[in-house]
Structure 1
Amino acid sequence: MSSTTTETPTPIRTAADASEVELLIGGMTCASCAARVEKKLNRMDGVTATVNFATEKAKVTFPAGIQVADLIATVVKTGYTAEEPPPPQPEPAGEKAPEDPEPAAYRQRFTVSAVLALPVVLLSMIPALQFDNWQWLALTLAAPVVVWGGLPFHKAAWTNARHGAATMDTLVSVGTLAAFGWSLWALFFGDAGMPGMHDEFRFTVSRMDGASAIYLEVAAGVVAFILLGRYLEARSKRRAGAALRALLELGAKDVSVLRDGREVRIPVSQLAVGDRFVVRPGEKIATDGTVVEGASAVD
C-alpha cells in the first residue's frame, strides 16, 4: 500500500482570483470558426481562451470582474452558440452513450444529393446522353441539391455575413449559388433553354459561350462533394470521441482519501490539490501525484 499526494498543477494565470470554465461551442464548421471565437474571447480584458474545433469546446480563464454569462454573450455575438457542459451523471453499466446526430444528418443529405447530382453531371459532360430538353431535367434534379443539400452552407454563410466574416461555407455557398443563378438566367433568358441545345465538356470557358452555357453540374457536384467531406469528418469526430470515452472508462471511478487519519471513499472528481489518497495493490491510480509513503510497481 502506498500513499500519494496530488501535485499542484501549473496555473494558467497568476492572479489569485482567476476562474476557469469549459464551454461547449456550437455552430463551428471549420478551423477558422474556432480561431474567430478564440480571438473574440481573448480580446476581453483579462481573459485567456483556447478553442478546440475537434472537441467543440473552449477552455477559458477569466478574472473576477467577468461572469460566465459575459463569455457566452461574446460567443453568441460572434455568431455561434455557447453553454456550460451539463454536470456529469453516472451512466448505468452496459448502457451506450447517445449517438451524435450530426453524422446521420450529413449522410442523409449526401445520399440524396449524390443520387440527384450524378445524372446532372453525366448529362452535362457526355453529349451522347443529351436528348431534347435535357437541360430542364438537369435543372429539376440540381435545384433540390443546391437549395436543400447546400442549406447548411447557406445558413452558415448568412450567419457569418451578418457578423462581417467569411469562412469556407461562404466560399461554397457563393460559388454554388453563382453557378446555379447563372444557369437559371441562361435557361430562362438566354439560349440555353432552347430545344436541341447541346453542351460539350470543356476545360476552359470560351467567349462564345455567353448565355448558352449552363453550370448545373458544377453547382450540384460541388455540394455533393463537400457534403461527403462533412460526413466523413463528422464520422471521424464521433469515432474519436468514442475512443476517448472508452479510454476514460479505464480510469478509476473513486479513490480512498486520508481525512483526519481515516480513509474516506470519494469520487475521483472530488479530489482536490493537496489531498492524500491511498493506492492499494492492484488498484488503479486515480490521478497524477507524488508518492509520499510506501512503494509499489506500476505497469
Structure 2
Amino acid sequence: MGGWKPVSPFEEQLHAAVTAGEPARGLALLRDADFALPVTEAAAAGREQPVWATMDSGGRTWVAAFTSVEAMRAITGFATYRVSSLVELASVWPNPHWGLAVNPGLPIGFPLESGTLARLAVPTMAQDLVLDPASGLPVVQKLLGPADLHALLGDGENRVSGYCHHALDVAHIATPTLLARALGQPEMVTPDGSVNILRWRAAGPALYRTPYGALDEEGMAAVAGWVVEEPPFVGLGLVPSQVIREYKVDGVLLTHGAQIVELTVEGAEMRRAVHDGDTGRWFLVQRRPREGTA
C-alpha cells in the first residue's frame, strides 16, 4: 500500500524480516504480538457480540488481524477494535479451515494457515523447552473422578492416560468449581464441593503430545493434526475457550513425588497421597489443610 510506514519498532522489525526474505524471523516476532481485530462500534460499546472480521481470498476464508491500530485503519477504515494475542485467538478459533491474515494488503502481511497458527501460539512441550531452557520440565495435572482414585489408590496404578494440562496455566484458579468449569469438567466436583487433582512433573516431553486436530478427519487434515475429538474440542492445543495448554498422554509412567491433592471448597489444598517412584506405591498423607497451594 502506497504511503504506508511502520509505526513501531515491532513493525520495523517485521518489515525488515519481510524485506530480507526471512519469514521464519517474522513468524517468531508474531508469536508474542498483540493484534487489533476490527469490530463495529456497537460491539466495542458492548451493545452486541463481536464477530470475526473475515475476508475471502483464493477460495479461502481468512480472519483479518493487524499489528497496529494504524495498520487496521489504513486497510479497513474501522475505528474500533478489540485486542487479542495469538494464543487467545487459538483458544477460540472458529473453524479449522480458516486462516489468519495478519496485516492483509500491507508490506508486512503474513497469511497463516490454522495449523501454523496453532504451532506458533501453542508450541509442543519439547518446543517450549527449546524456547525457554531455564523453565525446566513442567508440572502437569488432571482432575480425578471416583474411578480414577480407585485405580490409583485401590489398584496401585502408576500410569496415566488421557488429557492433562499445564499446572502453571491454572495456578491462579483457587476454587474447585471455577477450576472444573475452566477445564470443561464440572462433573468432577464432588458432592462436598471439592475436586481431586493428580499432579506430577512431566518426564519425556515427547510423550506429552499437543492435541492438534479437529472434530472430523477433514478438519484434522486442515490443521495438519493427529487427533479427532467431540465438541467443544478446538484442536489448537488449548482447553476450549481457555488459555490453558493441554496434552494427550497414553500410559505414561508417573514420576517420583507425584501427588493426589484435594482442592477444598474453601480454596485450601490438602495432599492426600504421594507416589514413591522407587517402589511404585502410593502412600497416604494425613495432615491438616493450609491456605494456598501445597
Q: Report the TM-score when normalising by structure 2.
A: 0.21
TM-score normalized with structure 1 length:
0.21
Higher relative contact order (CA 8 A, sep 6+): 1
Bigger Rg, which one: 1
